[in-house]
Structure 1
Amino acid sequence: MHLTEWITSRGGIAHRADAAEHGFSPHHVRAAIRCGAVRRVRAQWVALDSAPTDLVTAASASGRLSCVSLARRRGWWVPPDAAPAVHLQVGPNARRVRDDTVLHWGEPLVDRGSRVLTASVEDALAHMATCYSREDARAMWESAIRVESLDLEALRLVRWRDPRARALADEVDGKSDSGLETIVVVRLSGWGLPVRQQVRLAGHRVDIVIGSHLVIQIDGFAHHSSAAQRTSDVAHDAELRLRGYTVLRITYAQIVHRWEEVERIIVAAVARGLHLAPSARR
């Protein structure tokens, strides 16, 4: 295998010590750099022109992708208004290489070594807790729990250094099906009403139930685009209404851009007692 093929198999960027361990001598690597087949990134990394920009930025700064940057890379939910800046976990020898980088200084919770360009999941979660609002941070934590299949008990045993991370570890429950769902639950949590998530009613799960009979269904950005799924949703909504439930469907745009509108609708429903069982509304 040629050096460029090997680097491609590593995602387009590789540590020179790893290259040596795979049979590519320092002389071989220097020759590839001289002929332009690869480029040097600081002292210890070599990359192809096709290497991901965020990883090259991390290597250039002697850091690791963390916070929202790791979330994007691993497919966690990210706040829709999150800036495109690269977030890096860095130590005392790091340097800022771009104005749009956000540096998270300090000792890592999990030291992954100098040959890795991504922070641990735990460190990324810790950085989110201090970098974002409680609402957005919890939504990202819940998404990470779902995507990474994290164990809640193990998460709570982590020695979190910041009280915001500790509070989130105690608060998350892994029930949210999406970041939008988490945001809605957080916003409703101070209302003093029972709020349940992912409740099975009439043979299907619903996103949120307020009280016993007010159902909130969240239609995300690309939610249920097929006609068959939409037909199934309508049929299930009808069945719930026949059983005495009130179903409110809210969209991505309403949650992100017009929350006051959503709040008014829910307040009106609660004022009419629609969160109660039909027998208790008189």
Structure 2
Amino acid sequence: MSLADWLDSEGGIRHVEQALGAGYTRYAIRTAVAQGAVRRLRRTWIATPAAPALLRTAASLGGRVACITAARLHGLWAIDDDRPHFAVAHGASRFDAGGARVHWNAGPIGPTRFELVESVVDALVHIAGCRPLDHALATWESALRSGRVDTEYLARLPLRHTAAHRVRDGASQLSDSGLESIAFARLRRIGLAIRQQVRLAGHSVDGLVGSRLVIQIDGYEFHRDAASRRRDIAHDRRLALMGFTVLRFDYEQVLFGWPAVEHEVRAAVAVGLHEIRDIRSSGERTPFRPAPRETA
């Protein structure tokens, strides 16, 4: 197998030492580079045109894909800031990062020389110091939900920065999605006590404020499943008949219309919709009487 074919079978890019370990000689590497089948990056990496652009850039920088960019490559829920993130060694020089965000330190695990994407744990630590608290919580909780990390390990992990401690202390496995993580982190930040995954009328609700205000968060994929939509609306009706108020918000509202969401929740609390209301305390209920029939 040619060196180029081997590289393509390995994802398009490898460290020179990995190629040597696979049985290719330095002469074979020089020949492939001279023929244009393989490109050398920063002397120690070789790649074919099939190599992902992010990995080629990481190799050219002498670093690795990091922070939210790495989190997304690992399959975690993260809100992108529309620029790639890379990590390089402290004091690294002689590179042009363009519009990328560069992190000048390693995470607690640290990379090996053959890694072009930092580990999940290192990405989480970078995210804690780089992104807003609610965004960082969403990605940390995504890692917990997916089993990529667990709370016991995170509790033992030495963290050097206050931001990482704050995110670790606030992360849980109760949110079903990153969108829930963001919404409830923001509501807790303004002082609302929210219980998550409380079972009501046979199903768990996303959040419960007090004893009667239910907050449901519909993710980005929500409207693609009509049957699920009907089930959720039916559950809302059952809750209404039981005396609950349900406020339901979607992806666009949480991420791009948050002030209105926060106002509606605060307004509901202000009029006591989060509390048990005893309709008998205000006097005897007026019985229902049908309207009189009109006569011709």
TM-score (norm 2): 0.87
The answer to whether the 8 Å contact 2:87/2:105 transfers is no
Q: Which amino acid aligns with 1:78?
A: A
Distance 1:22 1:121, change over 3 A: same
1:123-138 equivalent positions in 2, closer than 5 A:
123-138=122-137
Correspondence for 1:10? 10
User: What is the alpha-carbon distance in structure 2 between the residues aligned to residue 281 and residue 134 of structure 1?
Assistant: 44
Distance 1:259 1:42, change over 3 A: same
SS across alignment from 2:222:
coil
User: What is the alpha-carbon distance in structure 2 between the residues aligned to residue 173 and residue 254 of structure 1?
Assistant: 23
Q: Does 1:244 align with 2:238?
A: no
Please state how far the C-alpha of 1:109 moved relative to its aligned partner. 1.4
SS across alignment from 1:98:
coil
User: What is the alpha-carbon distance in structure 2 between the residues aligned to residue 58 and residue 23 of structure 1?
Assistant: 25
The answer to whether the 8 Å contact 1:86/1:100 transfers is no
1:122-271 equivalent positions in 2, closer than 5 A:
122-271=121-270
User: What is the alpha-carbon distance in structure 2 between the residues aligned to residue 123 and residue 149 of structure 1?
Assistant: 12
Q: Which amino acid aligns with 2:261?
A: V
User: What is the alpha-carbon distance in structure 2 between the residues aligned to residue 217 and residue 187 of structure 1?
Assistant: 14
Give 1 or 2 for the bigger CA radius of gyration: 2
Unaligned runs of 5+ in 1: none
The answer to whether the 8 Å contact 1:216/1:249 transfers is yes
User: What is the alpha-carbon distance in structure 2 between the residues aligned to residue 19 and residue 209 of structure 1?
Assistant: 56
Q: What are the Cα deviations for residues 94-128 of structure 1, in whole angstroms up to 9, with x where unaligned?
A: 54333212221134411331111111222211211
- 4+ runs deviating over 4 angstroms: none
Correspondence for 1:44? 44
SS across alignment from 1:274:
coil
The answer to whether the 8 Å contact 1:62/1:95 transfers is no
Correspondence for 2:35? 35
SS across alignment from 1:90:
coil
Q: Which amino acid aligns with 2:149?
A: L
User: What is the alpha-carbon distance in structure 2 between the residues aligned to residue 87 and residue 281 of structure 1?
Assistant: 63
SS across alignment from 1:103:
strand
Distance 1:280 1:130, change over 3 A: farther
User: What is the alpha-carbon distance in structure 2 between the residues aligned to residue 224 and residue 245 of structure 1?
Assistant: 24
1:31-110 equivalent positions in 2, closer than 5 A:
31-79=31-79, 82-110=81-109
Distance 1:249 1:14, change over 3 A: same
Distance 1:28 1:129, change over 3 A: same
Q: Which amino acid aligns with 1:48?
A: T
SS across alignment from 1:143:
helix
User: What is the alpha-carbon distance in structure 2 between the residues aligned to residue 152 and residue 62 of structure 1?
Assistant: 32
TM-score (norm 1): 0.91
Distance 1:108 1:230, change over 3 A: closer
